[in-house]
Amino acid sequence: MLDLRLPRALGWPGSGTNPEQLFAAAYAACFHGALSLIAQRAQIDIEDAEVAVKVSFGRDPVDGSYALSTDVRIRATGVERHVAEKLIRHTERLCPYAKRPATAYTAL
């Protein structure tokens, strides 16, 4: 059982798990799984790959309502940057979470 709380960004105490944290965890797990599958199919070893997702709660610049933005960081030790970027592009098309707009990806 989780103690759910609204985020500090909305003026609440934030002293528990908020929906954005759950979304970030699910996003990271899904993206990592899809990335692993794409790499396996391409016969590229990314066993030590790490995916970290930060979700920010803010305002949509178009209509002013609430919106989420994500910052996804992928570390794939021993994989050349251009190869990692190609894997990420393919993973974006496979992972359902990545099909959202306004997502920034960084290969480290």
Give the model's confidence band at 100: pLDDT under 50 very low, under 70 low, under 90 confident, else very high: low
Task: Supply the pLDDT for residue 101.
Answer: 58
Q: For 3, what's the count of Cα atoms within 13 Å in the CB-facing half-sphere?
A: 4
24 token code pair: 């970030």
Over residues 54-92, the pLDDT tens digits come to 998 778 888 888 888 889 999 999 999 999 999 999 999
Assess if residue 1 is contained within a domain. no
Domain extent for 86: 17-107
Q: What percent of the chain is predicted at pLDDT more than 70? A: 87
Alpha helix positions (H), the chain: 19-41, 81-94
The pTM for the full model equals: 0.80
The CATH number covering residue 36 comes to: 3.30.300.20
